Structure 1
Amino acid sequence: MMTLKVNGHDHQIDADPDTPLLYVLRDELKLNAAKFGCGLGQCGSCTVIVDGKAVLSCVTPLLLLKDKEVTTLEGLGTVEKPAPIQRAFM
């Protein structure tokens, strides 16, 4: 069991430490902005922000995220006040 901080909230995750972050985000936390694309860390469709840096979540195991802050597209803004990148897609 580990604590994973995503979009400002702590989540208790019971998964193998080698599990890619993408699977935890989509399957356990039901955050679907990060997409499965190539699964090899080449296409970028699974990109999230970890401690202010872009990270490919399909190739980032949970064990590397201890004491780090993960931000997904869902955590950047709200419907009422979207972040600039969200506005670009609207």
Structure 2
Amino acid sequence: MNQQPLSIPADTQASLLDVLREQLHLTGTKKGCDHEQCGACTVHIDGQTALSSLTIAHMVTDKKITTIEGLAMGEQIHPMQEGFIA
């Protein structure tokens, strides 16, 4: 997760979004519409975009997950992060 391997116990029905926000406190990934419409919950899973609100957390075991927080390059923020700030 964002360059760090993690093992988190989670309910077998928990969404990746809920685990990110509630257990890992990575709140950059947002709850939006819960209907695949807004993209606020988008993360990268093994380099591919995915909607974390529709992804069951236990289905991404051993996958590389990158959230908006993980896009920064050291102290320099990523253009996508700049867009959220603006």
Shorter-chain TM range is 0.7 to 0.9
Aligned sequence identity (%): 42
Matched, 1:44 2:39: yes
Question: For this pair of structures, how many residues does the alignment match?
Answer: 85
Letter in 2 for 1:81: Q
Instruction: For structure 1, list consecutive stretches of 5 or more residues without a partner in the other structure.
Output: 1-5
Q: Which residue of 2 aligns with 1:61?
A: 56
Matched, 1:21 2:20: no
TM-score normalised by structure 2 residue count? 0.86
Letter in 1 for 2:78: A
Check the 8 A contact 2:72/2:78 in 1, yes or no. Answer: yes
Superposed CA RMSD in Å reads 1.7
Choose 30-39 or 11-20, whichever is displaced more.
11-20
* CA distance in structure 1 between the partners assigned to 2:80 and 2:49 by the alignment: 14
Check the 8 A contact 2:10/2:58 in 1, yes or no. Answer: no
TM-score normalised by structure 1 residue count? 0.83
